[in-house]
Amino acid sequence: MANTASVVQRIETLREQINDHNYHYYVLDDPRIPDAEYDRLFRELQALEAEHPDLVAPDSPTQRVGANVETTFDEVVHRLPMLSLDNAFSEDELRDFDRRVKDRLKKDGPIEYVCEPKLDGLAVSLHYEKGVLTRAATRGDGYAGEDITANIRTIPSVPLGLRGEGFPELVEVRGEVYMPLAGFAALNSRLSDRGEKTFVNPRNAAAGSLRQKNPKVTARRPLELCAYSVAVLDEQDLPDNHWDCLKLVQQWGFRINSEMRKALGADECLEAYRALMEKRQQLPYDIDGIVFKVNDFALQRALGFVSRAPRWAIAQKFPAQEELTVIEGVEFQVGRTGAVTPVARLHPVFVGGVTVSNATLHNMDEIERLDVRIGDTVFVRRAGDVIPQVVKVLTERRPENAQIIQRPTHCPVCGSDVVQIEGEAVARCSGGLYCAAQRKEAIKHYASRKALDIEGLGDKWIDILVEKGMVNTVADLYHLTRDDLKSLDRMGNKSADNLVSAIASSRHPVLWRFIYALGIREVGEATAKALASHFGSLEAISEASEEALQAVPDVGPIVAGHVRSFFDQAHNQEIIDALKSAGVEWQSEVITASERPLNGETWVLTGSLSEMTRDEAKVRLEALGAKVASSVSKKTTCVVAGEAAGSKLTKAESLGVKIMEEADFVKFLASHGVAEGASE
């Protein structure tokens, strides 16, 4: 492009388009163009700016990639101090806070509060002059922090320039920089693959990423910013309440929290607290509590501050998800597929709302990576229903007699050799069905709720039946008599009768449940369903080549290899034959293509889902027969709306299309038996 006027024009158009796409992608979570198209626009802008360096502007979207400068973290004095928050640790403390607010304001009626999740990240302050980001700083001691502008600029959800018009000349936006859980897991797995130190939690990962001297490193870290307050540093006016201010900040291009809500009085605040606590584990980021802020700025001013905290806000904390405890021992457990997993026996500790006395150590590589020993004091993390994990060792507290944990060479249950395939982190007992642990686990899986759902056949009975030699394989279950069962300690007549009839009525499962129940490695419910639906019969699956198996949605080379090797092993075929002889008949026809419950329906997924990726959701819907489309129309049957769903949700609302929130979608999948992926 020779003509400078047209270059300037083109550069401006590209910047506008790219900023707009960034806003939809990073702030609204609702991308409007494919990645390839975005990349083309971006490269075109980069090329034009390279040809015309005098036209490069600091707020150009190309300028966030991470400049080759060394961050010096100079001291920055905050023009307005960055306050801290008082905490409430109980419902009574929250009610006391509300009472103090009302007393000070001499108000009888309920106060309007804004309730916001308290993200577990780092508070930052961002200055915009004439709409352009000029300075970013950490909170530091509240009065002075560090200049982190170069690093902050690399975060895609931080606007380099404010959107729209009419924003104040000089404005400060504050918020939390955090690392979403998925990004944290991916970062730790990358670091661990490279043999580098991993981060204990997303907060530390966010802090470590912001403290990088080289902004190019920060640019590769999955950081996000959520804005939670704004202060105007000149004379211009903002709305007269916090809620409207945040909505305005969103229009300027900032991500604000989609869980934010208003509450009238302490009772509604406590309701919001309980609702958020319930939702905590489904959120795609860590939160450590909820913040309540008096909404009306006039009332905030009247309340003022005490020492370094505002009197108009309080954080009600959730139970801690990390605590310190001591490793008292390590045992090795053997799973259904022989995986030998080290489990730490802990001095009991209250964490994540429950008392925890065991934590997984995953595998020997993890033990070596953490350098964990018996006697060590460790950080234990329990987030939601996830198995508690040991995430860090406090080596400075290591006692002299701390014991190194040895790699097991023999299975602790059957004594067979423990083998480790090269490139795999998991060590496995080589005993197969000779190993009682593997037999027990296979039977537990077969009888479990999501498989053949044999009521009354709990883990303890299975342990006893295997230990007494009464059951060796799942097929033996069908030969148990009332008298056999009655011979067991604490098994009454009625329980024995019930169990015999529960086992008998498990003889006619639908095909996918039977496939799932076989316990093939990496074949969870969704894959079992997809296999059943694709092949229609067990014989066809058992004869399919790896290539043919890979034609099934959700089946890649690894799963195909596991399925093939399962059916290639003679003892598995023997068990299937024994099940047939015992009268077990699976009903192939139930999930054939024509009878899939969502046949003929078109579904759309929008927003981000916290319990599964969109691809996983798609596979599950397709396994039920639905077509998954990328845009909403009158023909759409249902729209699944995840967090921060944007224009597709709005369109569905305007067309009167059915909308399902993620929690209901998960329940819906569960009711159709496609809720979870593979195990082990």
Listed as own residue / partner, the contacts of 562-566 with beta carbons closer than 8 Å and 24 or more positions apart are 562/520, 562/521, 562/522, 562/523, 563/520, 563/523, 563/531, 566/518, 566/520, 566/521
Contact 379, 391 (CB under 8 A): yes
Of these residues, 102, 106, 107, 118, which one is catalytic? Answer: 118
The site that binds ligand 5U1 (CB under 6 A) totals a number of residues, namely 13
Catalytic residue at 118?
Answer: yes
φ/ψ (deg, to 5) at 82: -90, 105
Q: Which of 94, 89, 134 is nearest to 111 (CA)?
A: 94
| Closer residue to ligand 5U1 in complex, CB, 242/534 | 242
Stretch of 83-91, 144-152, 463-471, 529-537 lying at the interface with ligand 5U1 (CB under 6 A):
83-91
Across the strands, what pairs with 147? 137
DSSP 80: S
| Closer residue to ligand 5U1 in complex, CB, 174/444 | 174
Name residues contacting ligand 5U1, limited to 175-194 (CB under 6 A). 176
CA-based Rg of the chain, rounded to a whole angstrom? Answer: 29
Dump the DSSP string for 160-175.
SB--SS---SEEEEEE
Does residue number 280 form part of the binding site for ligand 5U1 (CB under 6 A)? no
- The CA-CA-CA angle for residues 319, 323, 325, to 5°, reads 145
Name residues contacting ligand 5U1, limited to 443-472 (CB under 6 A). none
Q: How far is the CB of 503 from ligand 5U1 (least distance, A)?
A: 54
Stretch of 82-90, 361-369, 386-394, 547-555 lying at the interface with ligand 5U1 (CB under 6 A):
82-90
Does residue number 291 form part of the binding site for ligand 5U1 (CB under 6 A)? yes
Q: How far is the CB of 210 from ligand 5U1 (least distance, A)?
A: 16
Does residue number 116 form part of the binding site for ligand 5U1 (CB under 6 A)? yes
Q: Which of 524, 529, 525 is nearest to 590 (CA)?
A: 529
Which residue type sits at 551?
A
The residue from 11, 27, 94, 123 that contacts ligand 5U1 (CB under 6 A) is 123
| Closer residue to ligand 5U1 in complex, CB, 287/414 | 287
Does residue number 85 form part of the binding site for ligand 5U1 (CB under 6 A)? yes
The residue from 118, 373, 444, 562 that contacts ligand 5U1 (CB under 6 A) is 118
- The CA-CA-CA angle for residues 504, 505, 510, to 5°, reads 125
Q: How far is the CB of 427 from ligand 5U1 (least distance, A)?
A: 44
Does residue number 310 form part of the binding site for ligand 5U1 (CB under 6 A)? yes
Strands 403-404 and 373-374: antiparallel
Here the tokens at position 331 are: 């045992």
Q: List the x/- string, 197-236, binding to ligand 5U1 by CB under 6 A.
A: -------------------------------xx-------
Does residue number 284 form part of the binding site for ligand 5U1 (CB under 6 A)? no
Buried-state track 146-165, b at ≥16 Cβ within 10 A, e below 16: bbbbbbbbbbbbbbbbbbee
| Closer residue to ligand 5U1 in complex, CB, 85/343 | 85
Contact 430, 338 (CB under 8 A): yes
Does residue number 252 form part of the binding site for ligand 5U1 (CB under 6 A)? no
CA distance 174 to 123: 7
Q: How far is the CB of 496 from ligand 5U1 (least distance, A)?
A: 57
CA distance 547 to 557: 8
| Closer residue to ligand 5U1 in complex, CB, 124/563 | 124
Stretch of 77-85, 149-157, 211-219, 435-443 lying at the interface with ligand 5U1 (CB under 6 A):
77-85
CA distance 214 to 219: 9
| Closer residue to ligand 5U1 in complex, CB, 229/377 | 229
| Closer residue to ligand 5U1 in complex, CB, 306/354 | 306
Does residue number 115 form part of the binding site for ligand 5U1 (CB under 6 A)? no
Q: How far is the CB of 290 from ligand 5U1 (least distance, A)?
A: 8
Dump the DSSP string for 127-154.
EEETTEEEEEEE-TTSSEEEB-HHHHTT
Listed as own residue / partner, the contacts of 245-248 with beta carbons closer than 8 Å and 24 or more positions apart are 246/114
Does residue number 586 form part of the binding site for ligand 5U1 (CB under 6 A)? no
Stretch of 26-34, 116-124, 420-428, 497-505 lying at the interface with ligand 5U1 (CB under 6 A):
116-124
Does residue number 313 form part of the binding site for ligand 5U1 (CB under 6 A)? yes
| Closer residue to ligand 5U1 in complex, CB, 128/228 | 228
Does residue number 578 form part of the binding site for ligand 5U1 (CB under 6 A)? no
| Closer residue to ligand 5U1 in complex, CB, 124/576 | 124
CA distance 380 to 206: 19
Across the strands, what pairs with 125? 137, 174
> Which residues are annotated as catalytic?
118
Instruction: Kindly list the residues in this chain that would bind ligand 5U1 in the complex (CB under 6 A).
Output: 83-85, 116, 118, 123, 176, 228-229, 291, 293, 310, 313
